[in-house]
Structure 1
């Protein structure tokens, strides 16, 4: 509802305006009344008002003086409708200078007022949508800069941008709230459902921490397959609530759990003394996550400093265990693969091997597996194979992956090798798949679903797809969906969220983000620009 303030020294005028029309049916709500400009100013300072309807001739402070004061001291963009029984040129001239929305003569005509209110409402909705679009764009730009700082691959301009929104602190750390995918109730969901749940956690945290929205970000671990919400924690947040850090974080965790029953893990990185070092704190979380995944007694809150100095066993995994796993992967022996992985992780767990050696052992194992692919495909490029498998997921397995993650990877990779042996023909198959995507792009399709449908390993299909179209499958699908959305924006008046659903996005915000990434403007802005261009 558009909030309205009526300012007039005559009570019957105020009352008459209130009953003249059904304000609610036109999207308005009369929030307050005032008898003069001074009283109205006090109301504006304490209430949210969108539109002021004010008389000209009033005691103590007339309407024009009131408008001038509001423009200068309260809101330069406040909308005003001026009422007057004295239609004099000077009044009209000054009202125009103050950029009032409209000027109505008393006695007020019902139809005239309705026409003005409809026009104001339409303008208000356009401005509101533009503000929302601008806010979305600004957030996308900000998140991109903050992620660069978190990853540690920033330039000075990224750092300067982030510092405009996050105050520097001598004691700060990165905290990651992560939905546990080993929880079957979450892990079995479709990707869009997972994203919606992740977004609900993000919005819930924004609601809890309203005083520092720019310290919250989601999707930092997306490339690692995580559904996470990041929080740049400053020690002063806890101090302001007269709490110590751990009590503050524990309280935050309890509040985050309130929205649903999915298992949520919290990993806290080590403290750094300035934003420039935030990436060090972020990377230390991988160690906390690693010990969490290798531990029998898992806690939902894991601090880096609790595991950083844990007594480390310098022994590595036995060579025979690794050789057995490689043989089973090569022979595509699924059950034996799972048994071998369990034995390797059990040894890592029992010996409490330090994170550096865990990474060394797992990296060695992964590179041995890649060599298997090169044996089957002599033209295979190791860098290219790594890219197909996903370098970020590769790093995740080496630093913080659980036995379950590695088993899934090993089995999937074994199937991939089997597919290399078969050496499926890509020509006719990709033509069928391309046609399938064109007909069902609006549905929940993925490499996995297409692989299951056409009896081909999804990793290998992704490899074939990228070689043929020179872009990853998900980028191809997003590009197609956005192109279809553009066609609908140009040819229909459907609402943005309706178009998003029609082209395959259940989350309108996710759709807008993808649209901006590809076109550098929002769907709403594209529609306005396109219509202007047509006329």
Structure 2
């Protein structure tokens, strides 16, 4: 953390040295940047060092503390904060100190605990004021850049800025976008980096690369814009690409990638809009240059970007492989589709459109099978990334994850459909068992292969179809024999046997006695029970 600079002013050397040793300045957020034993020397030191805080005694030779404070307040637009320490408890001094806006008036001997607490509070106040000032300067800078980009700035305004930048209308400028990619809510990352922190890092790297040269940084919703004067490119063989490479190499982000886009150079700050527009053109070639993430726009070098759908043959093959869950073939098809995005110069919007089409096709399949696409963990990222900065490689990873999970889910839905279908078939058998039905006729009614149906029925219920049908019919025959006086041939007809003899044979096979014997046993059992009563 950057420490606030403080200067100690006191004609007693022991007081100054005692303060330095007594207080843990670093812990309080300060760094002692200088000392003076009189107001006049302190004045020169303050003008040179520009401290944040001056701690001064009142009574000193040449120029006293109040005189020092008065002179700095009169001549400085942003004077430092003042704290007075004095061995004199004089109310008039305190009145003057208040009038000058002095932060605190402290009597000697100094209580180190109270002094430390005062410094800590002041450090926090200075930190907040510094952050607010930085925000205001950035807003002013952004307003300036936006007014020039929108062609709303007057000539005098532009000339004033060129003068502040020590440049002329003949100097050349680039507009550069710096973009953090692949940081999104659905990816486990070591540390999140909001845009303001990324902007601060970009500013620091730019300062390290070109020193104090003016490189104005501007926030563009989800990326950072930088105005680069051509003169700062001299150490980089006057090349914007080499400068972009150095910028990219020095911005350190975990779990992400940095993309750099540069437009064409323009002469004069007034033409900054043209540089900005060409930098926006460079954004369209993002996925063409996904490998290195550096795009230097040149109309002569770049072909026209495409806004077309992928061919239907590839699209249908993709959906079929997801349905069939052929992982190796699916992986090849997805990679082929993304290669086409790159080789055929698809604009980012066209890539979004084609990915969206693929996602919708898969969702249609899932819904047609009575599934719920919201149960897919991979759905949210593949439909929610559109306003985020993602590299083509990250998009490939997200879409592959979606395709694989969708294929697994469709397979589960298919099994559920099969289970649901076989249950419908069982219900149909239970309702129509008394009719002349067979495995072949039921398979035809449900548009299934009879062999497959027989295997599925056996796998689901653990019994062969013919045995199940026989059990149903014999079970109903037993009920009719118990509860009615129907003749045997009538019972046979009621439960689906057109041949009474065959009915008797099947009944005896299952129950180990004929239908007549079964009814006689029931009659005897009933008579015996009545006799015993």
Q: TM-score, normalised by structure 2?
A: 0.54
User: Which residue of structure 1 lines up, in the alignment, with residue 46 of structure 2?
Assistant: 44
Identify which of 231, 242, 259 aligns with 1:239. Answer: 231
Shift in alpha-carbon separation, 1:135–1:335, aligned structure 2, 3 A: farther
Deviations 1:124-183 (A, max 9, x none): 1441453477479879x969x89xx8xx9x9x9xxxxxxx9999999543423456x6xx
Deviations 1:67-89 (A, max 9, x none): 1112233344512214255x655
Contact 1:267 1:288 survives alignment (8 Å): no
For residues 129-528 of structure 1, what are the structure 2 equivalents within 5 Å? Answer: 130-131=128-129, 134=132, 171-178=173-180, 191-193=188-190, 195=192, 203-210=200-207, 215=217, 217=219, 220=222, 230-236=223-229, 238-240=230-232, 242=234, 247-254=239-246, 256-258=248-250, 266-271=259-264, 280-281=277-278, 283-293=280-290, 298-305=291-298, 309-310=302-303, 318-346=311-339, 352-355=343-346, 363-364=353-354, 366-367=356-357, 369-377=359-367, 388=380, 391=383, 393=385, 406-415=399-408
User: Which residue of structure 2 lines up, in the alignment, with residue 61 of structure 1?
Assistant: 63
Shift in alpha-carbon separation, 1:415–1:354, aligned structure 2, 3 A: same
Whose Rg is larger?
A: 2
Which sections of structure 2, spanning at least 5 residues, go unmatched?
Answer: 153-159, 418-533
1:200, distance to aligned residue in structure 2 (A): 8.1
Shift in alpha-carbon separation, 1:416–1:118, aligned structure 2, 3 A: same
Deviations 1:191-227 (A, max 9, x none): 341535999865543223246686155982xxxxxxx
Contact 2:57 2:86 survives alignment (8 Å): yes
Output the CA distance in 2 between the equivalents of 1:92 and 1:396: 57
Output the CA distance in 1 between the equivalents of 2:273 and 2:384: 23
Contact 2:263 2:298 survives alignment (8 Å): yes
Output the CA distance in 2 between the equivalents of 1:377 and 1:399: 30
Output the CA distance in 2 between the equivalents of 1:399 and 1:88: 69
1:232, distance to aligned residue in structure 2 (A): 1.9
Output the CA distance in 2 between the equivalents of 1:419 and 1:89: 86
Shift in alpha-carbon separation, 1:59–1:324, aligned structure 2, 3 A: same
1:90, distance to aligned residue in structure 2 (A): 4.0
The number of residue pairs the alignment matches comes to 378
Which sections of structure 1, spanning at least 5 residues, go unmatched?
Answer: 157-163, 221-229, 425-535
Q: RMSD in angstroms over aligned alpha carbons?
A: 5.5
1:317, distance to aligned residue in structure 2 (A): 5.1
Contact 2:178 2:260 survives alignment (8 Å): yes
Shift in alpha-carbon separation, 1:416–1:283, aligned structure 2, 3 A: farther
Output the CA distance in 2 between the equivalents of 1:89 and 1:37: 21
1:18, distance to aligned residue in structure 2 (A): 1.6
Shift in alpha-carbon separation, 1:327–1:173, aligned structure 2, 3 A: same
1:338, distance to aligned residue in structure 2 (A): 1.0
1:25, distance to aligned residue in structure 2 (A): 3.3
